[in-house]
Amino acid sequence: MSWDKKVAVNYAKSHASSHSQGRCAEYTRKAVQAGGVTLGRTYYAKDYGPMLKNAGFSAIGALEEPREGDVIIIQPYANGNPSGHMAIYDGHDWYSDFKQRDMWAGPGYRTAKPSYTIYRKK
């Protein structure tokens, strides 16, 4: 099965809650899988970068605008969730286990602005 970003994004949107459930990696991985790409599993969201690369995703440049189907991996920040964060973009909003206000998963991420990488399937 080839990558269908619309199916992935629709899965993410239809399964997202109104607030975080602490299961961003699970929900985002399942959305990617619904779109036709199977990722391995790791416990922490911050560790999904190599799996995305192995599945044919590439990191985009820091100045490049995200596009529908892009997946972000955000690293942890001091005194924050050690798991980091993972979400998928629908072309307008970011989704993980909830519909996010922006690409940052919450106020702690928004303030700390830890490093992140956005991946795109070519």
In tens, the pLDDT along 49-103 reads 999 999 999 999 989 999 999 999 999 999 988 999 999 999 999 999 999 999 9
Nearest to 109 by CA among 100, 118, 120: 100
DSSP secondary structure of 35-48: TT------SSGGG-
**Structural domains of the chain, count:** 1
Its domain, for residue 99, covers 5-121
- Residue 36 has phi, psi (to 5 degrees) of 105, 5
Q: What is the pTM of this model?
A: 0.96
What CATH number does the domain containing 30 carry? Answer: 3.90.1720.10
Tell me: pLDDT of 113 over 80: yes
Quote the CA–CA distance of 12 and 98 in Å, as a whole number: 9
Give the alpha-carbon dihedral of 42, 49, 81, 91, to 10 degrees.
-120
Distant-in-sequence, close-in-space partners of 114: CB < 8 Å, separation ≥ 6: 74, 75, 76, 77, 80, 84
